[in-house]
Amino acid sequence: MYIYPRPSGWIDIICIETDSTHKIRLDVYEGYSTHIKQDKFLCLREREADAYKKEDKEDQLGYFIGHYKIAENGMFSFSLFDAEKIKDMVQKGELKGTITSWKTIVTSKANELVTLISQKGMDSFINSTDKDGTFTFSRPKK
């Protein structure tokens, strides 16, 4: 994972993965960081090459939101919001949004989301038992 800051305050994140067959997967995201009290968040969206951008706004993905921490040893861990927990909050009316068969779109305003996170706490948004939903990175050795 490589993080590149922009002069605007936004960041670009490049993630490179290899699987057991040595195939490479490359994902590029753009977004920004923010915080609520002591909790830090990344708000990211997939960044597409200009040649592949879709004209139809309905097909574009929204933001992924995740909670992150940087440990004293320099380890960076990032946990995406749990889709099922968010879907449940929309169904209960705690968050505004729409649910389709393949995605949940939150339409609550930023201040409404901040208020709900402050009230419910991070455990209500993150699945702490799902190890596949948490990613941990370390700085490369020089």
Is the pLDDT higher at 74 or at 9? 9
Of 51-65, 101-115, 122-136, give the lowest mean pLDDT range.
Answer: 51-65
Nearest to 136 by CA among 66, 85, 47, 84: 66
Residue 56 inside a domain? The answer is no
| 10 and 75 both lie in a single domain | yes
| 73 and 105 both lie in a single domain | no
| 69 and 118 both lie in a single domain | no
pLDDT more than 70, % of the chain:
83
Per-residue pLDDT band at 49 (split at 50, 70, 90) = low
Nearest to 46 by CA among 23, 22, 28, 34: 28
Q: How many domains does the chain have?
A: 2
Alpha helices in the chain (DSSP H): 83-91, 110-120
Q: State yes or no: pLDDT of 119 exceeds 90.
A: yes
Domain that holds residue 100: 83-125
Token readout for 122 is: 């991070």
pLDDT at 90: 95
Q: State yes or no: pLDDT of 61 exceeds 70.
A: no
